Structure 1
């Protein structure tokens, strides 16, 4: 097979380097869409590439080649891919499929549990107040979803800050942020090299929700103060938050706590606060075009590699 089959794998090595710059320089909603698409497309393309390479190894085995009426001898001569490469690709493909399947199963169980928990929380306005002195708040997906806030968090914040907090958590539900996190993590499970995209998506959905809170209140500095205040107040996590929020990728403020240090190596909360204190980010056409170019290249290369395999199988077919 020609070089096209290796292009998605090569892009998986290089593209994740742009995940954090994209997350911090592009408008959060657009950044979330681009990062999620990058993780999903590159994860799929690299998995298909591994599958194509693995097939070139399988057709060299006479017993398997006979099933498809192919010539194993011709395959050894007409296919430029090395047998060792095909074997490694087969092993990596098996690991990717198993990891992705396990992730999908766990995510489905978690979503089902979250939906059941949400259904058991009767409320008129979608907000559930939990009697717990540990400050926390999180969004719980369901039909419909719920916003869960502890009494400890309500006591920590004033009335305006509570409005900001609820607007932030409501954005997680209305924009279905858990789906973006799940898709990005699926791509990272298929290809571990893409984990920076999943990490970046976990950050951009919080920035997306922060900007929703800004639109609801019109005060960027007040939202920044609320984000920092809520994060500092969160020292304990309710069991429900650990079971639902952590697995769904939409933890409350406890899951957003940052680390000390320069902003370049800071955790999510300092970076979010800094972004809120700065002017709103634009759509950044250059980053958008660059992402589209990378994804388009991966798709075209995968299609070309699939065509190459089809031509190879026709060439080595036994007539």
Structure 2
């Protein structure tokens, strides 16, 4: 049981290397879905495994075993193994929960401030222009979706480049990319091995919006130039947007520009194998976590005298 619960805690450390290859070999939208679903399964499996380890340690204590109406001791490996693992799992869960709550509160405050500012401004369709010399633009989720852009950003771009920027942000809103970024943030707080994948998911979202904008305007070179100029303009000022509000100016812009200027790639033979590798990681993690939790539940029932050994 204990060994099974350790596997979901080790698998996430193998994912960052596969995530980088996924971005190179899959289409941006496909990579975004593959990475997000993978980290969601891995994060949930890790939390389930940590929770089972914590409960295993707690039920080794006589007081809690009495509350559980145990008629025989809970069968586990040596206490020298179980109790340190339970203590470590408790610390990891507590730290992860604390950082997740702190991050969620900070992002919620930023979202409310951005939403309040956008709702107080006149809009033209989904476009909200804020009078500010600070160059900034981002896709603001909510009902209704908004494209928030400052006058400083509008002055930094030509008319055709503005259309690229608007198409990029509309692509974010249309595809609901903020949901992917929220999942990536959640997973990063659930397991330290998933933190590097957060940047990969953000890059995949930006690349997907880049490709969508290029398809709308029909000019990849113009799209690359607009993104580069917008990012250069925004680099001199800090944005007040929440982290889950995607923006054309974020991420490794030179890498995104190079991808737009390069000829569209043909499908590589390795692409299905990368997707299968991610699926295998998710399956192994979920399967071992579920099996370990069920084994723990069975041992509890045995200790309570409800099931035979």
Tell me the TM-score normalised to structure 2 length.
0.89
Q: What's the secondary structure of 2:138's corresponding residue?
A: strand
Structure 2 counterparts to residues 46-57 of structure 1, below 5 A = 46-57=46-57
Q: Which runs of 5+ in 1 are unaligned?
A: 257-267
Which residue in 2 is equivalent to 1:10?
10
Which residue in 1 is equivalent to 2:287?
300
Which residue in 2 is equivalent to 1:165?
165
Contact 2:168/2:248 (<8 A) preserved: no
- Cα distance in 2 between the residues matched to 1:105 and 1:60: 35
* 108-117 or 193-202: bigger deviation: 108-117
Q: What's the secondary structure of 1:248's corresponding residue?
A: coil
Structure 2 counterparts to residues 73-152 of structure 1, below 5 A = 73-75=73-75, 81-152=81-152
Which residue in 2 is equivalent to 1:40?
40
Q: Which runs of 5+ in 2 are unaligned?
A: none
Structure 1 residues 55 and 72, CA gap change in structure 2 (3 angstroms): farther
Report the CA distance between 1:248 and its aligned residue: 2.7
Residue 167 of structure 2 corresponds to residue 183 of structure 1: no
Contact 1:57/1:86 (<8 A) preserved: yes
- Cα distance in 2 between the residues matched to 1:34 and 1:55: 32
Which residue in 2 is equivalent to 1:260?
none
Structure 1 residues 166 and 199, CA gap change in structure 2 (3 angstroms): same
Point out 4+ residue stretches in structure 1 off by more than 4 angstroms: 76-81
Residue 67 of structure 2 corresponds to residue 67 of structure 1: yes
Which residue in 1 is equivalent to 2:260?
276
* 211-220 or 32-41: bigger deviation: 32-41
* 90-99 or 286-295: bigger deviation: 90-99
Once the two structures are superposed, residues 30-84 of structure 1 have per-residue CA deviations (whole angstroms, 9 ceiling, x without a partner) of 1111222222211111111111111111111010011111257444668895321
- Cα distance in 2 between the residues matched to 1:146 and 1:136: 14
- Cα distance in 1 between the residues matched to 2:106 and 2:132: 28
- Cα distance in 1 between the residues matched to 2:144 and 2:245: 18
Which residue in 2 is equivalent to 1:174?
174
Report the CA distance between 1:109 and its aligned residue: 3.8
Report the CA distance between 1:127 and its aligned residue: 1.3
- Cα distance in 2 between the residues matched to 1:203 and 1:136: 18
- Cα distance in 2 between the residues matched to 1:147 and 1:250: 10
- Cα distance in 1 between the residues matched to 2:134 and 2:109: 27
Structure 1 residues 102 and 113, CA gap change in structure 2 (3 angstroms): same
Contact 2:164/2:223 (<8 A) preserved: yes
Q: What's the secondary structure of 1:128's corresponding residue?
A: strand
Contact 2:32/2:204 (<8 A) preserved: yes
Q: What's the secondary structure of 1:129's corresponding residue?
A: strand
Contact 2:118/2:148 (<8 A) preserved: no
Q: What's the secondary structure of 2:147's corresponding residue?
A: strand
Report the CA distance between 1:299 and its aligned residue: 1.2
- Cα distance in 1 between the residues matched to 2:113 and 2:70: 49
Aligned length: 303
